[in-house]
Every structure is written in C-alpha cells, then in structure tokens.
C-alpha cells in the first residue's frame, strides 16, 4: 500500500547497536564530545567578537565557520543523546525532515564557507597591496550571506521534494535521518529527486571545488616565486584551512560511500563511525586547529592566561 510521507507518523532508526550494558558509557562519550564541541566553538566565537584586533575578514569567516559547527552539532548530538537512552529508536516524521534539513544545510554551508575562505586567502597572499580595498567588511557580509542563501535554498528544495514522495516503509538503516534514506523508501517515481539530487550536489560541490583549486594554484605559484616571508605567511594561514578541507572531504566521502553502496559486509559499528565522522570530527577539530595554529589567537590566549594568574 502506498503511503504519502505526510501520513507517516514516525520513522524507525534501525542502525543502533544493542548497547544495553554500555548505554551509560556511550552516553557519556557522546555528551563529552558535544560539550567539547560547544565549548571550543563558543569560546573562539567570543574571543573573535570581543577582541577588536580580530575584527578582520579572515576571522569573520572563521566566526561564520564556528557558528555553522554549532548549528550542525546541535542538529545531531542532542538527538543522539536521547536515542541512546531510549529503548525504541524512533523519530517523528516532522522531526526527521527537520533533521535532514539541518544536517544537509550544515554540510553544504561548510563546503561553501571553506571555498570563500580560500578566496580570502588568495587575495591576502596574491594581492596583498589591494587586499583591504578588495575584501572590505561589507564584502565579507555579502559573501557570508550569499553562501548561506546558496546552501539553504538548495537544501530546502531537496527536502521538499523528499517530503512529497509516496513511501512504502518507515525503516531507516542509520542512526539519524538523511535524505537518501527517505528516497530509498519511496514507491513513487523518484526521477525528479534523483536528477535534482545529482545536479544540485554537482553544482554545490563543483563550484566550491573549482574555486578552491584555482585559489591554491595561484597561491602555490606566488609561493614558488615569492620571498621567504611570503611562503611563511602562506603556510601559516593556509595549513589549518587545508587540514580542515581534507578532513571534511574525506568524511563526506565516507558518508557518500556507505550510503550509496552495499556495506552489509562491513561491521555495523564501522558503518556508524563512518556516517558520524564528518558530523563529529569536523566541528571538534576546526576550533582546535585554528585556535592553536593562528598566531593572533595564540597570543590572545597567552595574554588571557597571564592576566588570570597575576
């Protein structure tokens, strides 16, 4: 019998392990991870907002990145904590689609943020004399707003297309809701979903990738032909960005592979880890990498600790 997705009362999340004897242990691990993510990201947001010396384009983009980490983590971790304490792993249909929107928009915004940050580094390293006129605070606000609008509008269309599907089941083989799992439950025509999904993903990934590749090719060209000081500046500002980009790309690839291909031979615990990797490691590693690597933030930490212990 075909059932419209608006009539599905709940979805069952079928990938949770039987962890009855380790519930408290897993709950504490997830809780600690969430507290660390919130604490690190909020702390750096406050440091950037409070200190006027950090009111520069690069740090405004970082602030936007950290806010997105909080957004994505909040779309996942509180839900995981509730599910770990529950004996029946179900989620209501409206909450499921809300989680799909939150997690997919987080993923898209993350990628566009990293692309915009690479453009900022390109201007700072390749056109330093014109940087202040090319990258004004007004332009920073426009770029951040444009990346948000671009990502959110695409995810809204994806979610609305999935919401209108006719479904033949309500079992999702994951520990959270995602769009592809909903599409696989459909017994109606999914051609529009598949075409838009492929096109939208290609555009949302291809445009940032082209921008990132172009900017780093130009940065490398300047580094090879520039002075030692230029190379040091490039390494200092680009290393955490590249590390963040690679970490996020690998995590996203893990998620796509385990969602789109038959992974039944892979242990369930490994599949869960792969599906959660880019949603947990990225929000935790980003503030640590940027907070420890960038000299201005390190110097502010030192001043804070010196004043604290005087």
Q: pLDDT tens digits for 160-217?
A: 999 888 888 888 888 899 888 898 888 888 888 888 888 887 788 888 888 888 998 8
Is the full-model pTM beyond 0.85? yes
Task: Provide the 8-state DSSP code for 95.
Answer: H
Predicted local distance difference test score (pLDDT) of residue 97: 93
Q: What does each C-alpha distance from 236 to 52, 110, 231, 289, 292 come to in angstroms?
A: 21, 21, 9, 11, 11
* Rg of the chain, C-alpha, whole Å: 21
Angle of CA points 164, 172, 159, to nearest 5°: 30
Q: Which helix (H) or strand (E) holds 103?
A: helix 93-126
Phi, psi of 111, rounded to the nearest 5 degrees: -65, -45
Residue 112 φ/ψ, nearest 5 degrees: -65, -35
Element (H, E) at 172: strand 171-172
Q: 241 near 114, Cβ under 8 Å?
A: yes
Q: What fold, for 3-309?
A: Rhopdopsin 7-helix transmembrane proteins (1.20.1070)
Q: How far apart, in Å, are the Cα atoms of 181 and each of 5, 173, 177?
A: 13, 7, 7
**Positions in the chain whose pLDDT score sits under 50:** 1-6
Q: What is the pLDDT of residue 279?
A: 87
Q: Which residues does residue 92 pair with via DSSP β-bridges, in sequence order?
A: 10
Q: Are 58 and 276 in contact (CB under 8 A)?
A: no
pLDDT for 3 equals: 43
Task: Supply the pLDDT for residue 75.
Answer: 92
Phi, psi values for residue 15, rounded to 5°: -100, 0
């Amino acid at each position: 019998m075909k059932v419209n997705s608006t009539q599905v009362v709940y979805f069952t999340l079928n990938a949770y392990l039987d962890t009855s004897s380790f519930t408290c242990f897993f709950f504490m691990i997830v809780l600690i991870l969430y507290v660390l993510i919130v604490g690190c990201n909020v702390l750096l947001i406050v440091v950037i907002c409070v200190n006027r010396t950090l009111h520069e384009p690069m740090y405004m983009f970082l602030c936007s990145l950290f806010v997105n980490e909080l957004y994505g983590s909040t779309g996942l971790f509180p839900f995981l904590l509730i599910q770990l304490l529950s004996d029946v792993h179900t989620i209501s249909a409206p909450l499921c689609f809300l989680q799909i929107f939150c997690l997919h928009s987080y993923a898209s915004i993350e990628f566009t943020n990293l692309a915009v940050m690479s453009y900022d580094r390109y201007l700072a390293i390749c056109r330093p004399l014109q940087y202040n006129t090319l990258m004004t605070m007004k332009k920073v606000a426009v770029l951040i707003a444009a990346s948000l609008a671009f990502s959110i509008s695409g995810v809204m269309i994806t979610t609305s297309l999935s919401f209108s599907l006719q479904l033949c089941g309500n079992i999702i083989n994951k520990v959270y809701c995602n769009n592809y799992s909903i599409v696989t439950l459909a017994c109606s025509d999914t051609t529009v979903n598949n075409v838009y999904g492929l096109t939208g993903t290609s555009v949302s990934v291809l445009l940032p990738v082209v921008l990132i590749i172009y900017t780093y090719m130009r940065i490398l060209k300047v580094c090879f032909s520039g002075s030692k000081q230029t190379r040091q500046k490039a390494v200092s500002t680009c290393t955490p960005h590249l590390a963040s980009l690679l970490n996020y790309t690998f995590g996203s690839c893990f998620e796509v592979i385990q969602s789109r291909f038959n992974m039944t031979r892979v242990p369930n615990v490994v599949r869960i880890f792969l599906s959660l990797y880019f949603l947990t490691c990225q929000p935790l590693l980003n503030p640590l990498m940027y907070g420890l690597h960038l000299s201005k933030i390190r110097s502010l930490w030192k001043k804070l600790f010196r004043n604290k212990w005087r």
